[in-house]
């Protein structure tokens, strides 16, 4: 068990007025135990109690180390696993559950009267995961470094006639060759007018001189995700492309320079949005400035006009302003930033000046 992370979850539970929680999200359990299991349709859960007596429920099909650091309750496919769970839960107290608990398990626990009420306690996990410890920070630095390396090594493949799909497939292979575990999401590659769609999925569109080339991609390293976007122009750039690019770059850099502990996340969004609006492209910045990231590419927490939280040391989130001109072009520039005690560390090192490739 990762005791510092367990302690953070238990502290969050206390603040919510809860003494116990049943966690069933495999990624959340991995976060707390360091052991990844994909249970498929079978039950898999970690029970935490502020008074002690933590238990993890694992099917006999799964192999787990002896020194997992928590009492293991093993069961077969024919055992009444929910009876075992109900017996572990304090029936006099409300039970926190996470948002991933399937109804096929939750409803029988309710019918059994396993707890004195059921409460969505996902925030106890989400808020703990939003603050990365030193081990997580190191892994996220490495994931972003691999992302930088892969995109740099992709550049020679950006040539006339290559398709979006071919570039995306090559990038996926580069991640593996560099030692990543895989992609944190399917790479987004968009040429020309396709880049005006914020999430264009790569297709057979082939690169032509004068096209913008938008690449949004990330890899996974030891469970942790990276995410970065760079926009290039192939062979020749128009004044319009240069104008839009510089506006987005200024918005990206101004927001990053403002990141520090205590700054409201909505203010970061506003800083970038004001620059783009003043340049006349406000309606074409169609999404939030950023999202939190870690074991998942999009985790709890965002950088938007509706964000209620302030930046805190250990937060990792994206700064990714964009401008999308339908039928013409799109530009997005994205870095990941790690909030430090005094400011922020930008996890991506690739240049952000406009590159004319080819």
Q: How far apart are CA 25 and CA 44, in angstroms?
A: 8
Q: How far apart are CA 77 and CA 307, in angstroms?
A: 44
Contact 308, 201 (CB under 8 A): no
Percent of the chain with pLDDT over 70: 100
Is the pLDDT score of 321 beyond 90?
yes
At residue 64, the pLDDT reads: 84
At residue 8, the pLDDT reads: 98
DSSP state of 219: E
How confident is the model over 214-240, as a mean pLDDT? 98
Is the pLDDT score of 4 beyond 90?
yes
At residue 150, the pLDDT reads: 98
Helix H or strand E segment including 257 = helix 239-257
Mention every residue, 6+ apart, whose C-beta is less than 8 A from residue 142: 221, 222
pLDDT tens-digit profile of 8-65? Answer: 999 999 999 999 999 999 999 999 999 999 999 999 999 999 999 999 999 999 988 8
At residue 66, the pLDDT reads: 79
Give the β-pairing of 188-191 and 228-234: unpaired
At residue 63, the pLDDT reads: 87
DSSP H stretches of helix in 52-163? 81-88, 103-111, 122-129, 134-154
96 confidence band (pLDDT: 50, 70, 90)? very high
How confident is the model over 155-165, as a mean pLDDT? 97
At residue 68, the pLDDT reads: 87
On average, the pLDDT of the chain sits at 97
Least confident of 33-37, 137-141, 235-239: 33-37
How confident is the model over 252-280, as a mean pLDDT? 98
Give the β-pairing of 71-75 and 55-59: parallel
Q: How far apart are CA 170 and CA 267, in angstroms?
A: 38
- Which residues make beta-bridge pairs with 23? 46
Q: How far apart are CA 318 and CA 8, in angstroms?
A: 24
How confident is the model over 337-355, as a mean pLDDT? 97
Q: Which phi and psi angles does 239 have, rounded to 5°? A: -60, -35
Q: What is the pTM of this model?
A: 0.96
At residue 9, the pLDDT reads: 98
67 confidence band (pLDDT: 50, 70, 90)? confident
346, two tokens: 């930008």
Closest by Cα among 96, 76, 73 to 85: 73
């Amino acid at each position: 068990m990762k005791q510092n992370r367990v302690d953070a979850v238990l502290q969050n539970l206390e603040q919510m007025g809860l003494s116990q929680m049943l966690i069933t999200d495999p990624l959340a359990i991995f976060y707390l135990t360091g052991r990844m299991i994909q249970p498929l349709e079978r039950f898999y859960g970690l029970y935490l109690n502020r008074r002690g007596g933590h238990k993890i429920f694992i099917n006999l099909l799964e192999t787990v180390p002896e020194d997992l650091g928590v009492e293991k309750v093993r069961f077969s496919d024919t055992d009444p696993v929910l009876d075992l769970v109900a017996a572990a839960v304090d029936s006099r107290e409300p039970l926190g559950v996470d948002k991933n608990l399937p109804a096929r398990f939750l409803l029988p626990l309710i019918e059994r009267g396993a707890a004195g009420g059921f409460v969505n306690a996902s925030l106890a996990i989400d808020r703990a995961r939003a603050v990365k410890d030193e081990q997580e920070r190191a892994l996220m630095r490495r994931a972003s470094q691999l992302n930088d390396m892969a995109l740099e090594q992709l550049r020679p493949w950006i040539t006339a006639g290559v398709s979006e799909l071919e570039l995306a497939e090559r990038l996926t292979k580069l991640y593996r060759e560099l030692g990543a575990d895989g992609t944190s999401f399917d790479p987004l590659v968009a040429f020309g007018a396709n880049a005006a769609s914020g999430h264009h999925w790569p297709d057979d569109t082939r690169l032509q001189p004068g096209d913008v080339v938008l690449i949004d991609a990330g890899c996974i390293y030891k469970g942790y995700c990276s995410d970065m976007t760079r926009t290039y122009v192939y062979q020749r750039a128009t004044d319009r492309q240069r104008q839009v690019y510089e506006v987005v770059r200024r918005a990206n850099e101004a927001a990053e320079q403002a990141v520090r502990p205590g700054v409201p996340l909505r203010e970061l969004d506003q800083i970038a949005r004001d620059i783009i609006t003043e340049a006349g492209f406000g309606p074409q910045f169609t999404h939030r400035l950023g999202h939190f990231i870690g074991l998942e590419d999009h985790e709890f927490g965002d950088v938007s006009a509706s964000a209620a939280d302030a930046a805190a040391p250990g937060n990792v989130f994206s700064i990714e302003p964009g401008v999308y001109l339908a039928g013409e072009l799109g530009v997005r520039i994205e870095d990941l930033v790690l909030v430090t005690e005094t400011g922020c560390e930008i996890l991506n090192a690739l240049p952000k000046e406009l590159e004319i490739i080819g």
